Amino acid sequence: MSILSVEIAGGPYALAAGPDSTMWVTLVHSGALARVSADGTVETFGVAPGSKPSIITAGPDGALWFTRNGDDRISRITADGVLDDVELPSGSGPFGIVAGPGRALWFTATNSGVIGRVDLDGTVTEVAHPGGMPSMITTGPDGALWFTLNEANAIGRLEPSGALTVREVPTRRGGPVGIAATHDDAIWFTEILADKIGRIPTDEAIQELDLPGKPHAVVADPSGGVWVSLWGASQVARITADGEVSTVDLIPGGEPHGLAVQRDGNGATALWVAMEAGYLWRLPVG
């Protein structure tokens, strides 16, 4: 597998691997999605002007689900481009989304401060109201939903029953954004305002590591540790479970945001990076 660089207009933002070995990317500025094949062929699907497609995830039904931060909707798109919408209350500002317990999609609403779920039939339930600008969300190794609270400078944990726990980030005004569960039964999160990454063994204290470059998104590496996008440095960083850091330079001024790890049919592993300045890179990593 070789390095692949694809130019995509419209503000590539977040990524999710599709069931057909393609990579899907949200185009936050143009109100569209793009599907990218292994050879770099791009197919674009319009959503709606001003819809601001944000975070995207693979659903339990084989479709892709994504938030629309600009017009308060969550959408579902099939591999062949059939689109359906679920409308949320006006002003919600949906952002993070992940497949989670109950074969449901769980989401954050940055403006209303809600953590909610969408069942596959489109039923929406507001499960918790932590406030604090909830941002990205992940399913933890303990079966709970973990999410960043950007303005509250905290990490939330929500059980499917609705029980909520909030932990304050040690560094003041850290601005937590990205979050991911890893194979070592831990939660990792980024602090974009403090240039740090944090790690929470699910039943232990928060650990922090300096990581200059405005870390934004984080994704688990199947071989251990995590990959992080460094928005301010136009780099990606790999951090091992022992805290060792190595970086890879991207296009200067690329504004990297979303990350996804994908394995091909031969077992090779690649890291995909969405850069808001108009690029998508695939880097072989294992």
Is 29 part of the annotated catalytic residue set?
Answer: no
Q: How far apart are CA 191 and CA 22, in angstroms?
A: 30
Strand-pair partners of 166: 156
Q: Catalytic: which of 29, 183, 216, 257?
A: 257
* CA distances (Å), origin 39, targets 35, 36, 81, 279, 282: 12, 8, 19, 15, 10
Tokens of 251: 């296009």
Within the chain, how many helices (H) and strands (E) appear?
A: 0, 28
| Sequential DSSP letters for 87-142 | E--TT--EEEEEEEGGGEEEEEETTTTEEEEE-TTS-EEEEE---S-EEEEEE-TT
Asked if 189 and 140 touch (Cβ cutoff 8 Å), the reply is no
Q: Which residues of 253-280 are buried (b: 16+ CB within 10 A; e: fewer)?
A: ebbbbbbbbbeeeeeebbbbbbbbebbb
- The catalytic residue positions are 257
